[in-house]
Amino acid sequence: MNICFLMYPWDEINPENDTSLALIHECVKRNHGVALCTPANLTIRNSVTSAFCTVINRMDKVSSSQKTFYKQATTREEMLPLAGFDVIFMRANPPLDPLMLNFLDSVKDDVFIVNSLQGLREANNKLYTAAFGDSHSNIIPATHVSKNKKYLIQQIRNSPADKMILKPLNGYGGSGVILIEKTAMSNINSLLDFYVTNSDGTSNYVILQEYIEGADQGDVRILILNGEPIGAMRRIPGNDDHRSNVSAGGSVAKHTMTKQEKALCKQIGPKLVKDGLYFVGIDVIGGKLVEVNVMSPGGITYMNKVYKTKIQTKVIDFIESKVLDKLKAFDRRSRLRNEVENA
């Protein structure tokens, strides 16, 4: 199997805790061909969608240590046609680049893409959670998305709670997430100016969300593969930060999924699969779905450490099975066509 990881540059990887590296390492250990490219390296050559790739050279012996593997791996640069890969694994950081998806549209029928382009378009960052909530559902916290400052201020004033969460629509890793309180209303207008209005006069959407009691104790990150949870951990905020993201100074601990969390996964799993969102990370607080991470969900290395497991093996097992199914379907189709032609 040949797999292309569409992600950030190789030299920007954190060898200690990078989920993408854990997946790459597992592929190399299985003797699969692995290449990386960034969205900026996509190109078209002679009407063929290609990429300037960093190809990991084959290794006689692959270290079992992720960190050692990263140090020992050597690479070379090649321009390669994307349709020549069996899999394209999307691991680019948000925000979603629409032009990147336009490039990949030309190869989506030839290559198994994780996650699917249509799924990424529909689940664009933090808006996707609204698809799981309706007037009869209590699965998501009350959420407002707008760039209208007057409207946002009104929602803060009308909120029955004293606290709310404000965050940029396109943020990730906990960047820009702040806790606002009604007691500090005099600061809200300037905060919204900062978050909504750019120096060039353009504006950004922000998310205003109900504060869930117990959020100060952290959240739960659940990794979902093909609609089923494959790992969970509790993320605990640092002493001086309300955010529980590890990248923001939080820590992790073991977590046994509650009955409510299992029910939540069962409820959203079929839609994720239907939308081609096979590998997803969800953030849950108090049994409520806060975010769905579909572009580069992380957490594998931390879960592996606290549970002494290797979650990446399940992910690559799944991808291998999907590629095998695709090959079998192609062979069957070719065989049936030959029967018709030879009749």
- Output the furthest CA–CA distance in the chain (Å, rounded): 81
Torsion over CA: 231, 237, 243, 245 (sign): negative
pLDDT band at 11 (very low <50, low <70, confident <90, very high): very high
**Mean per-residue pLDDT for 54-82?**
97
pLDDT in tens, 178-204: 888 888 887 888 888 888 988 788 888
- Do 36 and 86 belong to one domain? yes
User: What integer pLDDT is reported at residue 125 of this predicted model?
Assistant: 60
CA–centroid distance for 99 within its chain? 18
Query: What b/e sequence results for 187-201 when a residue is b if at least 16 CB atoms lie within 10 Å of its CB, and e otherwise?
Result: ebeebbeebbeeeee
In a domain, 314, yes or no: no
CATH code for the domain in which residue 98 is found? 3.40.50.20
User: What integer pLDDT is reported at residue 136 of this predicted model?
Assistant: 47
User: What integer pLDDT is reported at residue 246 of this predicted model?
Assistant: 64
- The three-class DSSP label of residue 334 is helix
Q: Is the pLDDT of residue 330 over 90?
A: no
Q: Is the pLDDT of residue 24 over 70?
A: yes
User: What integer pLDDT is reported at residue 226 of this predicted model?
Assistant: 98
pLDDT in tens, 174-185: 678 888 888 888
- Do 57 and 110 belong to one domain? yes
In a domain, 56, yes or no: yes
pLDDT in tens, 26-51: 999 999 999 999 999 999 999 999 99
Nearest CA among 49, 47, 68, 51 for reference residue 59: 68
In a domain, 339, yes or no: no
Helix ranges restricted to H, the chain: 19-29, 66-72, 98-105, 117-122, 149-158, 185-196, 259-274, 300-307, 311-342
CATH code for the domain in which residue 279 is found? 3.30.470.20
Structural domain including 55 reads 2-114
Nearest CA among 214, 206, 211, 299 for reference residue 253: 299
pLDDT in tens, 226-245: 999 999 999 998 765 554 55
Domain count of the chain?
3
User: What integer pLDDT is reported at residue 230 of this predicted model?
Assistant: 98
CATH code for the domain in which residue 178 is found? 3.30.1490.20
pLDDT in tens, 118-128: 999 999 766 78
23, 56 contact by CB (below 8 A): no
- Do 87 and 164 belong to one domain? no
Is the bond into 95 cis (omega within 30 degrees of 0)? yes
User: What integer pLDDT is reported at residue 272 of this predicted model?
Assistant: 96
- pLDDT > 70 in the chain, percent: 93
Q: Is the pLDDT of residue 80 over 50?
A: yes
- Do 72 and 164 belong to one domain? no
